[in-house]
Structure 1
């Protein structure tokens, strides 16, 4: 989606020729000892090392960053013990009559138990029933909506399965709540049904499920699935009304 190149034989000859010219010029201007020293330095600078020309990039695309992303997925997914559906069940139980609208696997931040407002006494809307995982450990960050569209954020330890923070979304306004409520009214497919449709197209571990709308104003479920064979991520868009897969994109980075 987004290749390692080797120095061609023609280019190697050009380098040697350039060095020869440099030697002649240096001879005309300096003594023999200086010339030999300069030639040696130039050869070290210009000549490609046998190791460098014979080594291929370890990345499938030749990009180190692509390999880093795959490694990060591997580390995060491998450290996770709680599956998406278990985390979803735990999150929904925290909000009476709540419905899941977003669930994402991510790393725990260092300020996991801090107040959203930075208050030392904490926010009255936030609860921390269990200790947070250590920074960098896997967590499931869930958003569960009430019938009026009010969102509750529930953070779940992805190893123990315990809730370590809950709070009402402090950034929602009336329009936001109306939009979420509208999405829920139009979504006839549950998160589990959307995931079933997505994983029928791309096998792997579910790392993100989110309700929203697309450019055509269709209400959709966006599902991310990581292939544990190559650690690529497939993003599948599922129509939330009928369960049809609308698109699929594979991120090889």
Structure 2
């Protein structure tokens, strides 16, 4: 009897499935042997990664209730409703704190538990003063003079003289486009040197901020930008 020939024929007669099954089983056994050897580095790495992820999740800030507001939007949502005094009253209080002055800018600032309006006013010669106004009761603090040089004063005096549109009129123009709460008004100049008012309006449905640049001579809207952050 030719045993070797019989063995060869036996292997040839096996079906492809049988040979494939044998190979798979062999690979599985080899994999099991490799896994059992060494110091289980892969398993430790996986467990370490899972532990780090759990720790990061535990220390991460809790998202807002609706889970959609950005950090800036959350800050506006917390601050704006706390201001019981509007921008116009704040500017009036600041102007009252500096005789013969005109409004230059005003901006609502926090923190929410003590909101305030930071206002700037200037006299006819361009001498500027900053005044902090309590956003809850409208009371103005002591005016602080700004240490501007002669060129800055002349430039500001020129803008104030050319600006025939008031902060209120500029805000009304902005509010005609976007309904919300005015949180800032500032006198500035365009690239061509003409005066403009920049007005920030916060919408209380999504807490976005829209900035309008408005010509300070004719109330024309020069630019509109929505801050979705």
Structure 2-normalised TM-score? 0.73
Gaps of 5+ in 1: 1-22, 53-57, 109-134
| 1:27 to 1:217, Cα distance in 2 relative to 1, 3 A | farther
Q: Give me the whole-angstrom Cα distance separating, in 1, the residues matched to 2:208 and 2:180.
A: 10
Unpaired segments ≥5 residues, structure 2: 1-27, 58-62
Residue aligning to 1:95: 98
**Could you tell me how far apart the structure 2 residues matched to 1:138 and 1:200 are?**
26
The 8 Å contact of residues 70 and 231 in structure 1, kept in 2 or not, is answered as yes
**2:104 aligned with 1:105:** no
Is the 1:105–1:139 contact (alpha carbons within 8 Å) kept by the matching residues of 2?
yes
Task: Choose the corresponding residue for 2:145, options 150, 159, 168.
Answer: 168
Q: CA separation of 1:77/1:24 partners in 2, compared to 1, >3 Å: closer, same or farther? A: farther
Correspondence 1:144 to 2:121 = yes
* 8 Å CA contact 2:98, 2:143 repeated in 1: no
Structure with more relative contact order (C-alpha pairs < 8 Å, separation 6 or more): 1
What's the counterpart of residue 36 of structure 2?
A: 31
SS at match of 1:215: coil
Map of 1:230 onto structure 2: 206
Instruction: Count residues in correspondence.
Output: 191
Secondary structure in 2 matching 1:184: helix
TM-score (norm 1): 0.67
Matches within 5 A, 1:1-253: 27-31=32-36, 38-39=42-43, 42=46, 45=49, 67-107=70-110, 137-170=114-147, 172-253=148-229
- Closer, same or farther: CA 26–167 of 1 in aligned 2, 3 Å: farther
Rg larger for: 2
Q: CA deviation at 1:231?
A: 0.3
* Partner SS state of residue 164, structure 1: coil
Separation in 1, partners of 2:88, 2:140: 15
